[in-house]
Amino acid sequence: MEELTTAQAADIAGYSPEWWRRLAVRGTVRARQDSRRTWLLARADVVGYANRARQENTDGIHGDQDTARPRRQAG
């Protein structure tokens, strides 16, 4: 299984490294920590997650709990 750091995942698929770390902690993507406590994510899961998010949210608004939600405007 090819693995990526959170920074590499951010470069390849978007979102921030912190976002990928949160997905790893939640178990949304397969991941493990190495001896230096660096998160290593399964590349296939990173690419799959990003592709699903793009397909489900063609208007840029994320509807599931694993993606960022738009901010509500006061009014």
Cβ atoms of 62 and 69 within 8 Å: the answer is yes
CATH topology classification for 3-56: Multidrug-efflux Transporter Regulator; Chain: A; Domain 2 (1.10.1660)
Q: pLDDT per residue over 28-57, tens digit each?
A: 999 999 999 999 999 999 999 999 988 887
Q: Has residue 19 got a pLDDT over 60?
A: yes
Q: Output the pTM of the full model.
A: 0.71
Token readout for 46 is 């990173």
Q: Scanning the structure block, which residue is given the tokens 């590499």?
A: 8
Rama region for 18: left / alpha / beta (φ>0; ψ in -120 to 50; rest): alpha
Which residues in the chain belong to E strands, given as ranges?
3-5, 31-33, 39-42
- Report the amino acid identity of residue 19: W
